[in-house]
Amino acid sequence: MDSLLEKEVKLIKKKGPTIPFGYKDSEKRKGYYEPIQLELDSLDLMVNYVQGKGLSLREACDWLYYKTDRKISPAGLLKIINTRY
């Protein structure tokens, strides 16, 4: 019954030692990361603000650290924006 209530989680395979922003080590499968929805939602919000010229990269990084308690550099945020969005 528990498996029916659990939401399907999309895992990504590890590619290096650095854990991507918005993910954590999977407890169920070794060698994979599982998403942290709060961090991914916050990241999406900040990407929209940065692309809309409402915030600078540094301001967006500061807000992400405040909201998620996880650091990201402006260069790292720019890389995420360029590759994902």
Q: For 28-81, how does the pLDDT look when each residue is reduced to its tens digit (9 = 90+)?
A: 888 999 999 999 999 999 999 999 988 999 999 999 999 999 999 999 999 999
Q: Is 63 within the bounds of a domain?
A: yes
pLDDT at 3: 47
Q: Is 29 within the bounds of a domain?
A: yes
Say what the pTM is. 0.79
The span from the CA of 42 to the CA of 38, in Å, is 6
Asked whether residue 5 carries a pLDDT value surpassing 50, the answer given is no
pLDDT at 60: 95
- Residues 73 and 64: beta-carbon distance below 8 Å: no
Q: Is 1 within the bounds of a domain?
A: no
Q: Is 2 within the bounds of a domain?
A: no
Q: Is 19 within the bounds of a domain?
A: yes
Count structural domains, the chain.
1
| Residue 74 belongs to domain spanning | 8-84
Q: Is 52 within the bounds of a domain?
A: yes
Q: Is 3 within the bounds of a domain?
A: no
